[in-house]
Copies of this chain bind each other. A is one copy, B any other.
Amino acid sequence: MRQSTLFAQTYREAPAEADAISHRLLLRAGFVRSLAAGIYAFLPLGQRVLRKAENIVREEMDRTGAQELLMPAMQPAELWEQSGRLGAYGPELIRLKDRHERDFVLGPTHEEVVTALFRDEVGSYRKLPVTLYQIQTKFRDERRPRFGLLRGREFVMKDAYSFDEDWEGLDRSYRAMYEAYRRIFDRCGLTYRAVEADAGSIGGEGGTHEFMALADIGEDTIVSCASCDYAANLEKAEAAAPIAHDLAADIPEPQRFATPNIRTIDELVSALGLPASRFAKTMIYVADDQPVAVVVRGDREVNELKVKNALGAETIGIADADTVLRVTGAPSGFAGPVGLSVPVLVDLEAAVEDGWIVGANQADYHVRNVVPGRDYRPACVGDYRIAAEGDGCPRCGAGGLRFSRGIEVGHVFKLGTKYSESLNATFADRDGNEKTAIMGCYGIGVSRLLSAIAEQHHDGDGLAWPMSVAPFRAHIVPVSANDAVQMALAERLYGEIRAAGIDALIDDRDERPGVKFKDADLIGIPIRIVVGKQAAEGLVEFKHRSRTDQETVNAGDVCDKVKEAIREAEQACRT
């Protein structure tokens, strides 16, 4: 394609509201434009990257035997009532009425629709397993759209859904998707981790992994082990049990002492001159309307999700001041585990039979020498805290856990029967018995991929696309549009490269060389062929966008060099 006619303008500066490097570069280089908060148009350069990413996704989905379909964005609200999500989803769900006042939603995902299709289409185990997928536009009215394509309100997603006879089948379907996802993200040139994750609001039982592209802008914290391949997102990350150590043989009786107006661990640390790890912090929560107490070490934080899962609760939240007063008999800041009538959940670390300093359940008092088991009886002991950087690895025991930031680009999820039960998606098994299909769901944020790739593949001068998703693979830049020799050679190379089936952009604009090179760096096409003064001798400069060196080559060798660079790039991302 000819750059003179390319529908895209480059900018030296990004708009002030662009809040991520990927977003700034995609705007500046003319890949996307914002129409409203979180709503984007893909200009030709961006659309080319999007289509290449889509094709990688499609190829890998097809390779697993998944079948592509296309479901509508407008979904009858009745389906969402049946699944129970209509009320639960909140204001992110875009709702509308048609001209006959019938209720619809714009699909943020398609569990309901695909399950209804399955119910009507598949009656027998002989049609199982089946995995269906689509690449389609989704709508989610984010409260705070940001980071460009990373958190938008209208976006392109690949969503897949598997249906199996039993849980073993689901394990196989899940594994096939997991492996396909690895190939997809490898081919897209992403550095990522597949992390264990929590079910979240989508519901369901069983395993789930998030695929996280590593990037500082990432909204999620990834916990990983330096020694083994353990990786999880922060809320899911297991905290290792404390290392056994010798306890004080005789711990004296608990002893109450005055702590006037000293409520927080920080205040206790200052006042008493002891490390935070000597204190046990007692937090009052309300889980499904029932108050519970949770005890963690003073230097730790409660992981509400772990508590919620341990209790099998639907909802959890920190108790208000009134509830704390009612449960502990004291204002907030003086709660302790001794003598409470509500269940007390104690984190593994805080359950060590040592003498802890805890709240006295009385205003302005704490107690020292409180031994779990001796002085109060935990309802459960378990992992209830947020993992901390440097913790021991819960898998291999060795190594300190590291924290990093990630962008969620994919998610595989064992749904189980959440939707197949509520929407009555059953089939006859080989004995003729009616069984409920076991489902999995699998998402990839296709438009989000562009931002994730841009976060990882850029430098100070602009974007530097991996070969597999680059808008064009070769960029031919004649230095002077007024030099007939240069232009003739550039056009010849452009013709040869395209004749070899390789997409190329030629900068045929009458612009200063500085402008051309700056734009080329900004747009980030992987192979650049500069046709300059040496054109008369049949020589051009050959350069990789992501390398600093460049090479003078014979024009006659250019096409082969381009092919070789493409081959190398393909091999690199398959290893």
The one of B47, B76, B153 that contacts A36, using a Cβ cutoff of 8 Å: B76
Q: Is A72 close to B, CB under 8 A? A: yes
Chain B residue with Cβ nearest A48:
B68
List residues of chain B with CB within 8 A of the CB of A212.
none
Q: B96 and A94: CB pair below 8 A?
A: yes
List residues of chain B with CB within 8 A of the CB of A74.
36, 39, 139, 153-154
Chain B residue with Cβ nearest A129:
B5
Q: A73 and B137: CB pair below 8 A?
A: yes
A123-167 interface with B by 8 A CB criterion: 123, 126-127, 130, 132, 134, 137, 139, 141, 143, 153-154
Q: Is A272 close to B, CB under 8 A? A: no
A217–B72 alpha-carbon span in the complex (Å): 25
List residues of chain B with CB within 8 A of the CB of A50.
70
Q: How large is the interface on A (under 10, 10 to 19, 20 to 34, 35 or more residues)?
A: 35 or more
From residue A251, how far is it (CB to closest CB) to chain B in Å?
55
Q: What is the interface of chain A mostly: helix, strand, loop, or mixed?
A: mixed
List residues of chain B with CB within 8 A of the CB of A98.
94, 141, 153
List residues of chain B with CB within 8 A of the CB of A69.
7, 41-44, 46-47
Q: B68 and A47: CB pair below 8 A?
A: yes
**How many chain copies?**
2
Q: Is A121 close to B, CB under 8 A? A: yes
Q: A127 and B5: CB pair below 8 A?
A: yes
Q: B73 and A113: CB pair below 8 A?
A: no
List residues of chain B with CB within 8 A of the CB of A71.
35, 41-42
Q: Is A9 close to B, CB under 8 A? A: yes
Which of A44, A132, A154 counts the most B-chain CB atoms under 10 A from its CB? A44
In the complex, besides A39-B74, A47-B70, 10 extra interface pairs with C-beta distance below 8 angstroms are A4-B127, A8-B121, A33-B120, A35-B72, A41-B69, A43-B117, A43-B121, A44-B69, A47-B69, A98-B153
- A contact set with B: CB distance below 8 Å: 1, 4-9, 30, 33, 35-36, 39-44, 46-48, 50-51, 65, 67-76, 91-92, 94-96, 98-99, 102, 104, 113, 116-117, 120-123, 126-127, 130, 132, 134, 137, 139, 141, 143, 153-154
The contact sample of 28 A-B pairs, CB cut-off 8 A, is A1-B67, A7-B69, A7-B121, A7-B122, A7-B130, A7-B132, A9-B121, A9-B122, A35-B116, A36-B74, A39-B74, A40-B72, A41-B70, A41-B71, A41-B72, A42-B69, A42-B71, A46-B70, A47-B68, A47-B134, A50-B70, A51-B68, A73-B73, A73-B137, A74-B139, A74-B154, A94-B98, A99-B143
